[in-house]
Amino acid sequence: MMKKIIKWELKRIFSSKKFTAAFILQFFLIILIIPMFTVYLETLQSGKFFSTTPGMNEFIPIGMNRKCKLSEIIEEYDQFSLTILEKNDGMKMLQKGNIVAYILVDDDFDQKMLKLENITLLIYYNNSDKSYVAKSYLDSIVNGFSDGLRRARIREYDIPSVLIEKKDRKDFVAETEKPKTVEEKKETVPKETTPIEKEMVDIKRLKFSLNREYILLLVMLLPLFMSGGLLTDSIVSEKEKKTGEMLLVLPTKRRNIILGKMLAIFLITVVQIILWIFILYGVGKISNIYTIFPLILAAFLVINLSLLISVYSQNYKESALLVTVIYILVFAFMFGTSILYISELKTLSLLSPLSMVIGLEEGSLTTLDTIYGVLPALSFSFISLALSVYLFSKDSFYFGPRPKLLDLIPDIFSKIGKGNFASFFLGCLSVFGAIILEIAAGVLMYFFLNLDVGFVIFLLSIVFIEEYLKYLAMLPNKSKFSGVFVGFGFGFFENLLSGFVLFTMFFPVEMILFRIIPLLIHMSSSGILGYFRYKKKTKLGFIIAFIIHLVYNTIILVSI
Amino acid sequence: MIESINVTKKFGDLTALNDLSLKINKNEIFGIVGPNGAGKTTFIRIVCGILSPTSGTVYIDGNDIQKDAVDLKRRIGYLPEEPNLYMRPTAYELVKYFADLYGVPKDLFKERAEGLFRLVGLYDRRKSKVESFSKGMRQKLAFVRALIHDPDILIFDEPTMGLDPATSKNIRDFILEYSKDKTVVVCTHYMEEADYLCDKIGVLNNGRLVTSGTPGELKTLIKKENIFEIEVENPEKVIENLKDIKIIKSKGNKIIVSCTYKELGELLESSEGIIGIHSKIPTLEDVFIELTK
């Protein structure tokens, strides 16, 4: 049955004039965008435009007088191309503009650092635009290096970081100077190119090339926009025109109907992606044909989100609005996060499948990166798919009246179970929701409010989000201890994730101690809320839980 | 046999069907009548497996429609109130698609489709696009679509709604012709249609089954009393004197009442301006109005 539905949908789409027009338009758009971006990037590279993000166009070339612990750290930063140069050569290169900063460290830099003695670091910059960016990055590295030393001290003496922080401010002194001795004078720059300079130019070209291909691949996301539209059209129009009623009477399970529709659109999108990538590969604009796979993964995610929107929406107007909002958020997230791939936050960037595109083009994608890259997108896709199937199985989503979103959540949660173990599990799941909402809240505060006000609101919103999600998680369980189990699940899973991140920073024993208090706080706050809910005084319970959580978070933040 | 046992269906706060129990025998044409919002369409959607009851069960030949939906749906041909057709394909393509979905073998399909297209009078237009069809033609095409897999249970929701009298008659005759040896459920507003087509009728009101029986049995429900059509000069004055006499209908200077001969005699004595009195045989419409007041 599903195959027949897929076949029919494909036939229906291909016979549609709208689709043909969109397909042709898309083809020409891609063909036009390729030279357009090439010209744009070449202009950027030539320096005719002022770029606010030089690090995004090419590596920032810097020099250093010797290899040491600091050079190792700098080399981990993908923004820099570090060259070890004698002082005289370094100064000349800085003057010529071949490098934008030159770092001078003492011969006993490493020994001094290990003994926690004061170290003097001299950094010379030239007058180029990129030197400002280099200074910003180098400052953050120097500060981070100082933090690293502090962490070493914490391990050595086994004392809490909160206590040591104020004492250790002077254990590392960095002098960053702008420009100290060097003036940029282009007319005095000799024309000959030394082997080192040639190597730097090659690195610069490589970076340029990566960015060009990355932007081209982003263009390939165009089919995803169209696929979402097609799917919405296929599902919402059946609701509006009531043709879907004849599908519901078919001798098949309901899920087969929407799976058939979804797979038909997915198939079209995959074919489009393959077609475009092969064309780009053929004309030499893409170096790795496997970039098809992360794009297909992104397509699968977008299509499943569109499916969920389509099933949820009552009409075109609503679906169009939801699709627009969700697409903006999803694409901003995917683009924004993938850019982190070329920064030091590579693992975080793999939340976006597009990061794998860059990884493949750079040739730096490891198996672990692939797992990190595939899992989030695939998980969210399948969660959306499962929710869509669940909603479509409910009469109210076709014949109305559609239940309110908040009424649906306990209904969906109760499918997992109504006992204490289910509450524990739902508590664990709530952590995912909290992460997403807290990141979103953080971004909104960052962009729309000043730091102080934004921070206070962010603090309040974190507490509200976590307590509210835990409240939703406890709804299917009617017992008075529901909140304790939800809080336990939430705290446990939060610890598990935090432990993952903190593992490299603390010893396991410290980690366990460090995380036991938040676990107890989550259990207490939710436990109280759960008990008050049982006593039919939910609002009062929520206020108490909120205050407990807020007080704890405030103490922690003030301490840090 | 279709058996509904204590079926309740709620849409949010609205109860569309309330503890509905009824039986539809094999090879019977069963009419479901009732005012708007009585729950007729909801009931047949549950029988078709489109909707799930909030509580209660519908059995078809002893099998629960919810549990054995896939198998039972193969036996059902459903014609919704609106034809709900895809507009872009041709009539033939559309019917072919549904035949495929129901797993009709290719050789059987050709023969069956041609037969049905001829039967409804669309044979010459089978290769035209659906969007070019009139309302009546679309309804006929919807019949072909509903019957292409040769179901033994036919469920028609308002089959002649909005059609002109000639097309309506055509459709009714077609239903009678085609439904021999099949179980048919017809949901309708038109009492003369139910009277013409159905072996048995169930009257629904506010989601409940008010009564059921053959058209004749239903008419006797109000025939226990005599029906008279009274023509009067001043209806308002006469209505004042009616006292306990039941008014079935009042229009212009005609009043249709249900009463005994004794009551009629008293009315004649007390009222002036009565032009004429005619004895009236009750119709299904009278029954409907009486039962769904």
Nearest chain B residue to A251, by CA: B70
- For residue A528, pLDDT beyond 60: yes
Q: Any chain B CB within 8 A of the CB of A2?
A: no
Which of B9, B84, B131, B138 to substitute to test the interface with A, most A CBs within 10 Å? B84
Q: Band the pLDDT of B99: cuts 50, 70, 90.
A: very high
Q: How many angstroms separate the CA atoms of B100 and B228, rounded?
A: 56
The pLDDT value recorded for residue A344 is 58
Torsion of CA A270, A271, A275, A280, to 10 degrees: 0
Q: Any chain A CB within 8 A of the CB of B84?
A: yes
Instruction: Tell me what the mean pLDDT of segment B199-211 comes to.
Output: 91
- For residue B184, pLDDT beyond 50: yes
Q: Any chain A CB within 8 A of the CB of B30?
A: no
Contact A284, A414 (CB under 8 A): no
Q: Band the pLDDT of B4: cuts 50, 70, 90.
A: very high
Taking CA atoms, B234 is separated from B166, B195, B241, B278, in Å, by: 38, 34, 12, 17
- Of A367-376, A494-503, B15-24, B167-176, the range with the highest mean pLDDT is B15-24
Instruction: Tell me what the mean pLDDT of segment B182-211 comes to.
Output: 90
Q: Which residues pair with B157 in a beta bridge?
A: B187
Torsion of CA B50, B56, B62, B68, to 10 degrees: 40
Residue A8, min C-alpha distance to chain B (Å): 7
Instruction: Tell me what the mean pLDDT of segment A448-466 comes to.
Output: 82
The pLDDT value recorded for residue B247 is 82
Of A37-51, B81-95, B233-247, least confident by mean pLDDT is: A37-51
For B25-57, the pLDDT digits (tens) are 999 999 999 888 899 999 999 999 999 999 999
Mean pLDDT taken over chain B: 88
Mean pLDDT taken over chain A: 77
Q: Any chain B CB within 8 A of the CB of A254?
A: no
Percent of chain B with pLDDT over 70: 98
Q: Check residues B140 and A505 and name the one with the higher pLDDT.
A: B140
* Burial annotation B172-189 (CB, 10 A radius, 16+ → b, else e): bebbeebbeebbbbbbbe
Is A4 in Cβ contact with B100 (below 8 Å)?
yes
| HSE-CB for A239 with a 13 A CA cutoff | 24
Q: Any chain B CB within 8 A of the CB of A250?
A: yes
Q: Computed from CA positions of residues B246, B248, B251, B252, in that sequence, does the dihedral angle turn out positive or negative?
A: negative
Q: Any chain A CB within 8 A of the CB of B88?
A: yes
- For residue A167, pLDDT beyond 60: no
Strands B183-188 and B29-33: parallel
- Sort residue B89 into left (φ over 0), alpha (ψ -120 to 50) or beta: beta
Q: How many angstroms separate the CA atoms of A474 and A486, rounded?
A: 6
Q: Band the pLDDT of A156: cuts 50, 70, 90.
A: very low
- For residue A409, pLDDT beyond 70: yes
Q: Any chain B CB within 8 A of the CB of A4?
A: yes
A346's CB contacts (< 8 A; 6+ apart) are A78, A340, A355, A369
Is B69 in Cβ contact with A401 (below 8 Å)?
no
Residues in chain B within 8 Å Cβ distance of A243: 84-86
- For residue A558, pLDDT beyond 80: no
Is A15 in Cβ contact with B84 (below 8 Å)?
no
- For residue A150, pLDDT beyond 70: no
Q: Check residues A369 and A162 and name the one with the higher pLDDT.
A: A369
Residue B268, min C-alpha distance to chain A (Å): 54
Question: Which of B11, B82, B97 is facing A242, going by the closest CB pair?
Answer: B82
Q: Band the pLDDT of A346: cuts 50, 70, 90.
A: confident
Contact A238, A247 (CB under 8 A): yes
**Chain centroid to CA B17:** 17
Q: Check residues A201 and A378 and name the one with the higher pLDDT.
A: A378
Nearest chain A residue to B47, by CA: A249
Q: Any chain A CB within 8 A of the CB of B28?
A: no
Residues in chain B within 8 Å Cβ distance of A403: 12
- For residue A175, pLDDT beyond 50: no
Instruction: Tell me what the mean pLDDT of segment A432-461 comes to.
Output: 78
DSSP code for A167: G
**Beta strands across the sheet bearing B274-280:** B246-251, B254-259, B226-232, B274-280
Angle at A202 between CA A197 and CA A204, to 5 degrees: 95
Nearest chain A residue to B101, by CA: A1
Question: Which of A15, A16, A249 is facing B48, going by the closest CB pair?
Answer: A249
Which of A363, A490, A338 is closest to A423 using CA atoms?
Answer: A490
The pLDDT value recorded for residue B164 is 82
Which of B13, B93, B98, B101 to substitute to test the interface with A, most A CBs within 10 Å? B101
Residue B173, min C-alpha distance to chain A (Å): 24
Amino acid at A377: A
Burial class (CB in 10 A: 0-12, 13-18, 19+), B70: middle
Residues in chain A within 8 Å Cβ distance of B78: 246, 249
Q: Any chain A CB within 8 A of the CB of B82?
A: yes
A170's CB contacts (< 8 A; 6+ apart) are A118
Residues in chain A within 8 Å Cβ distance of B86: 12, 243
Nearest chain B residue to A237, by CA: B86
The pLDDT value recorded for residue B126 is 93
The pLDDT value recorded for residue A51 is 43
The pLDDT value recorded for residue A68 is 84
Name the residue with tokens 């929520």.
A542
Nearest chain A residue to B67, by CA: A253
The pLDDT value recorded for residue B255 is 87
Q: How many angstroms separate the CA atoms of A56 and A53, rounded?
A: 5
Residue B256, min C-alpha distance to chain A (Å): 40
Q: Check residues A202 and A243 and name the one with the higher pLDDT.
A: A243
Residues in chain A within 8 Å Cβ distance of B51: 395, 399
Question: Which of B50, B74, B145 is facing A251, going by the closest CB pair?
Answer: B74
Which of A5, A6, A241, A246 to substitute to test the interface with B, most B CBs within 10 Å? A246
Q: How many angstroms separate the CA atoms of A331 and A227, rounded?
A: 14
Contact A125, A179 (CB under 8 A): yes
Which structure tokens are listed for B206?
């506010």
Residue A482, min C-alpha distance to chain B (Å): 27
- For residue B201, pLDDT beyond 50: yes
DSSP code for A118: -
Amino acid at A470: K
For A94-126, the pLDDT digits (tens) are 888 888 888 888 888 788 777 766 677 788 887
Is A396 in Cβ contact with B11 (below 8 Å)?
yes
Cα Rg, chain A, nearest whole Å: 28
* Burial annotation A350-359 (CB, 10 A radius, 16+ → b, else e): bbbbbbbbbb
For A347-365, the pLDDT digits (tens) are 777 878 888 887 887 777 8
For chain B positions 132-171, those within 8 Å of chain A (CB to CB) are 145
Question: Which of A15, A16, A249 is facing B73, going by the closest CB pair?
Answer: A249
Residues in chain A within 8 Å Cβ distance of B85: 243
Is B97 in Cβ contact with A395 (below 8 Å)?
no
The pLDDT value recorded for residue B249 is 80
- For residue B58, pLDDT beyond 90: yes
- For residue A154, pLDDT beyond 60: no
Which structure tokens are listed for B11?
């849409």
Is A249 in Cβ contact with B98 (below 8 Å)?
no
Is A253 in Cβ contact with B73 (below 8 Å)?
no
The pLDDT value recorded for residue A284 is 74
Q: Any chain B CB within 8 A of the CB of A20?
A: no
- For residue A177, pLDDT beyond 50: no
Question: Which of A243, A249, A403 is facing B85, going by the closest CB pair?
Answer: A243
List, in sequence order, the alpha helices (H) in chain B.
40-48, 69-73, 91-101, 106-120, 135-147, 165-178, 191-197, 215-223, 235-240, 261-270, 284-291
Which of A134, A131, A104, A132 is closest to A119 using CA atoms?
Answer: A104
Q: Band the pLDDT of A159: cuts 50, 70, 90.
A: very low
The pLDDT value recorded for residue A5 is 86
- For residue B5, pLDDT beyond 90: yes
Question: Which of B12, B76, B88 is facing A249, going by the closest CB pair?
Answer: B76
For A249-271, the pLDDT digits (tens) are 999 999 999 999 999 999 998 98
- For residue B242, pLDDT beyond 50: yes
The pLDDT value recorded for residue A69 is 78
- How many beta-carbon pairs under 8 angstroms link A with B? 63
Contact A438, A462 (CB under 8 A): yes
Is B102 in Cβ contact with A251 (below 8 Å)?
yes
The pLDDT value recorded for residue A162 is 29
List, in sequence order, the alpha helices (H) in A47-128.
54-57, 69-76, 87-96, 109-114
Residues in chain A within 8 Å Cβ distance of B7: none
For A54-100, the pLDDT digits (tens) are 444 467 888 898 888 788 878 777 678 888 888 888 888 888 888 88
Burial class (CB in 10 A: 0-12, 13-18, 19+), A430: buried
Instruction: Tell me what the mean pLDDT of segment A225-232 comes to.
Output: 82
